[in-house]
């Protein structure tokens, strides 16, 4: 098949593209750096010509409500107009576990708007909702560092390796549209503060973790970021990933 990966040069997109090429598919990595801009529509028609599947793993450059909402909804409008013109038969979108259960968090509300656009597009679809990536732990810790203290809430997560996310997205792209949602997550539930402790135990840098329920992006999040009993659980554990990273 010809598969267009929107956001194809990023963390997930580059891995998805590699897996799909290994599967024998023609892959177009669509991103502004390759001349394809979903916000303006530039390059979309040419990239999607003859495409069977579109995988959207693009991300807003801002976590603020209005820019994120504009990015996801405008991109969706341009994408689906181009997909219908090209006769695309399957749209795969990457979203977030628990995304529709976190009221008042603008970025998640923007992702819900994206999901709604997917459902209402008329293009057969599959939505893969992933838990937070292992790769996000270190940046979250850095954002929450004050001096030698890393202030993190005990918000429970079931994080997953980006490689396992990419494998699930690539599998969805090569299958039939589900017209539904599949949750994927890692094998273990940890508090975010505990993830910080595990990180610094294996990679000490002089910082210590302080549990602070008011600190950072995940402060006050409801207990919905671990997925439910239906989530597919990948096998890679955070400590194992850290040791080989």
Q: Is the pLDDT of residue 223 over 90?
A: no
What is the DSSP track for 41-101?
A: -TTHHHHHTT-SEEEE----S--SHHHHHHHHHHHHHHHHHHHHHHT--EEEEEEETTGGG
Task: Give pLDDT tens digits for 25-42.
Answer: 999 999 999 999 999 999
CA distance to 38, 167, 188, per residue, from 58 (Å): 9, 16, 26
pTM for the model: 0.94
d(CA 227, CA 224): 6
Mean pLDDT of 200-208: 96
Task: Give pLDDT tens digits for 164-202.
Answer: 999 999 999 999 999 999 999 999 999 999 999 999 999
Q: Please, are residues 29 and 5 in contact by the beta-carbon 8 Å criterion? A: yes
221: pLDDT confidence band, cut at 50, 70 and 90? Answer: confident
Whole-number pLDDT of residue 45? 96
What is the DSSP track for the chain?
A: -EEEEETTTSHHHHHHHHHHHHTT-EEEEESGGGT--TTT-TTHHHHHTT-SEEEE----S--SHHHHHHHHHHHHHHHHHHHHHHT--EEEEEEETTGGG-TT-HHHHHHHHHHHHHHTSSS-EEEEEE--BGGGHHHHHHHTEETTEEEE---EE--B-HHHHHHHHHHHHHS---SSEEEEE-S--EEHHHHHHHHHHHS--S-EEEE-TT-STTTT--S-TT--TTPEEPS--HHHHHHH-
Whole-number pLDDT of residue 21? 98
Structure tokens at 219: 């402060």
Task: Give pLDDT tens digits for 90-112.
Answer: 999 999 999 999 888 899 999 99
The overall longest dimension of the chain from CA atoms, in Å, is 56
Whole-number pLDDT of residue 158? 95
Q: Is the pLDDT of residue 64 over 80?
A: yes
Mean pLDDT of 76-94: 97
Q: Is the pLDDT of residue 87 over 90?
A: yes
How would you classify the pairing of strands 2-6 and 26-30? Answer: parallel
């Amino acid at each position: 098949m010809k598969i267009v990966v929107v956001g194809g040069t990023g963390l997930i997109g580059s891995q998805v593209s590699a897996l799909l090429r290994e599967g024998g598919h023609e892959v177009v990595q669509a991103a502004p750096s390759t001349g394809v801009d979903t916000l303006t529509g530039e390059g979309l028609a040419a990239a999607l010509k003859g495409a069977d599947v579109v995988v959207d793993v693009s991300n807003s450059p801002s976590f603020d409500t209005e820019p994120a909402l504009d990015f996801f909804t405008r991109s969706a409008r341009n994408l689906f107009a181009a997909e219908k013109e090209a006769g695309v038969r399957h749209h795969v979108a990457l979203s977030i576990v628990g995304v529709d259960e976190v009221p008042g968090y603008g970025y998640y509300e923007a992702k819900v708007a994206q999901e709604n656009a997917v459902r209402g597009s008329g293009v057969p679809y599959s939505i893969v909702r992933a838990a937070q990536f292992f790769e996000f732990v270190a940046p979250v810790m850095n954002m929450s560092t004050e001096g030698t203290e890393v202030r993190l809430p005990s918000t429970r997560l079931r994080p997953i390796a980006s490689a396992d996310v990419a494998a699930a997205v690539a599998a969805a792209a090569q299958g039939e549209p589900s017209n539904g949602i599949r949750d994927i997550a890692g094998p273990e539930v940890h508090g975010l503060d505990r993830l910080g402790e595990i990180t610094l135990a294996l990679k000490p840098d002089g910082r210590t973790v302080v549990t602070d329920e008011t600190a950072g992006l995940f402060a006050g999040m409801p207990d919905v970021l671990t997925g439910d009993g239906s989530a597919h659980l990948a096998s890679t554990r955070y400590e194992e990933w850290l040791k080989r990273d």
